[in-house]
Amino acid sequence: MDSAFRELPAVNELLDEPALVAFAKSLGPSAVKAAVRDALGDARRRIAADGGSAPSFATLVASASARLVHAETESLLPVLNGTGILLHTNLGRAPLPDEALDAIAAIGRGYSNLEFDLDAGKRGSRYARVTGLVRETTGAADALVVNNCAAAILLVLDTFAKGREVIVTRNQLIEVGGGFRLPDVLERSGAVLVEVGTTNRVYLRDVEGALSPNTALLMRTHPSNYRIEGFVADVAARDLAALGRRAGLPTLEDLGSGALVDLAAYGLPHERTVGEALADGIDLITFSGDKLLGGPQAGIIVGDPALIGRMRANPLLRALRVDKVTLAALAATLRLYLEPGGIERIPLYAMLRPSVDELRVRARALQAALGPLADVEVVVTSGLVGGGALPAAAVPSAGIALRPRDGDAGALAERARGARPAVVARVEDGAFIVDVRTIPPEDDARLVAVLRTALAG
């Protein structure tokens, strides 16, 4: 038994193993050292318990490596998104443009004029700079940026509707997902929900009939992830805004996805834009920064300067405020909207641009690279915008369908998720289907490497 202990390698010998050195970059050298010690400790306990021989060097490396793979899974990791869903909430929604990443590095690395007026040499406003850009890109008279769209709605309700009534039509009482249910948000904000109309048909007279001295706000939402079809009637935003003005009440529209440009330019159905909501006369519009805007997580409120001024004075804003890194990334993303060709540098729009034929060319190259290892077919696929935009609109796309030799596509998907970078994609009809629209072309080589390893079992 003593000789078995002596056969165990030293910690340093294992630390020099390239397969383990690689983890130092993502997890830090201390984590690698701890995993090696744990693997050796485990081996010692086993020898002491059953008196067997020492495990091989390769077994110890595999044992430490398994611990490190597990540790990595608990941290944030890059993923190749083969689902074809562009704004995949579970996969981090919008990838950021290079300009935003550069701004994050430049501002995050050191100090900045976050709340300092360099001209006057005294305290300045955290929000002033980005407000100008939001105004320029949306055409709104004023704007405020908070942590996310849910926070934006909460701030509006807290400022205007605490203890008072908010009228919402029944066809818009939505659950967005991730625990965001409009009736619950209203309740938590201390507002009283007044539902009017029926699930399928709502008229302006329903809203009018519900007005009371205690009404604080008329609210409409983007029914972002479902569609009611058939025998339907709805209240137009323009009519709701006019009613609000007649009654002296502010109107709020929660747009959610928040398109600044017309998606019809990308061959998709029209999606209501922030500019259209403003043109309809809605007083306050809320939307996310990391959906159709294509920037960092943020909640943006645009609209009437007097109403936004009241929200700026609300102490709750302090708890919902954004940090310098978000402001830097958001400003850099918004600037792209003002530059000719700039929108194409926003990854979301760069991914929406290629035709199915162009994507098929990429899929064929992947097929050629993987062909010998599995049955690989180039397929036409159907993706989604996601993030609550255009729930019913398919984004026509292309990809590859992999049928592994052992017939177990589920196991292949599991190995692909376990690879680094992980590949996440659909399993359908016994095939692992990787949509290429949501994978940047520059990652094709890495995708091939991962899939080759995964196919080899």
Ligand X SMILES: *Cc1c(COP(=O)(O)O)cnc(C)c1O
Binding residues (CB under 6 A) for ligand X: these are: 148-150, 176, 180, 221-222, 224, 254, 256-257, 288, 299, 388
Work out whether strand 116-117 and strand 122-123 pair parallel, antiparallel, or are unpaired.
Answer: antiparallel
197 phi and psi, to 5 degrees? 80, -165
Peptide bond just before 421 cis, omega within 30 deg:
yes
Residue (173 or 192) nearer to ligand X, CB: 173
Cα separations in angstroms, 90 against 76, 130, 362: 12, 27, 25
Residue (306 or 319) nearer to ligand X, CB: 319
CA atoms within 13 A on the CB side of 88: 16
Cα separations in angstroms, 296 against 25, 127, 134, 415: 25, 16, 14, 30
**Would you state the structure tokens that stand for residue 382, as one six-digit string?**
């159907």
Residue (142 or 254) nearer to ligand X, CB: 254
Helices first, then strands: H and E counts in the chain: 19, 18
Residue (137 or 257) nearer to ligand X, CB: 257
Residue (31 or 91) nearer to ligand X, CB: 91
Q: Where are the alpha helices (DSSP H) in 161-202?
A: 182-188
CA distance 169 to 257: 20
Residue (95 or 256) nearer to ligand X, CB: 256
285 CB-near residues (< 8 Å, 6+ apart): 140, 252, 253, 254, 255, 274, 277, 278, 301, 302, 303
State the minimum distance, in angstroms, from the CB of residue 151 to ligand X: 7
State the minimum distance, in angstroms, from the CB of residue 176 to ligand X: 4
Residue type for position 14: L
State the minimum distance, in angstroms, from the CB of residue 319 to ligand X: 15
State the minimum distance, in angstroms, from the CB of residue 291 to ligand X: 6
Residue (294 or 388) nearer to ligand X, CB: 388
433 CB-near residues (< 8 Å, 6+ apart): 82, 379, 381, 399, 400, 401, 402, 425, 426, 427
Residue (286 or 397) nearer to ligand X, CB: 286
User: According to the 3-state scheme, what is the secondary structure of 276-337?
Assistant: HHHHCCCCEEEEECCCCCCCCCCEEEEECHHHHHHHHCCCCHHHHCCCHHHHHHHHHHHHHH
Residue (286 or 381) nearer to ligand X, CB: 286
Residue (165 or 254) nearer to ligand X, CB: 254
Stated length of the chain: 457
Q: Which residue is nearest to ligand X (CB)?
A: 256
State the minimum distance, in angstroms, from the CB of residue 40 to ligand X: 45
**Would you state the structure tokens that stand for residue 369, as one six-digit string?**
């690279």
Residue 163 burial (CB count, 10 A): 10
CA distance 273 to 176: 18
Residue (180 or 203) nearer to ligand X, CB: 180
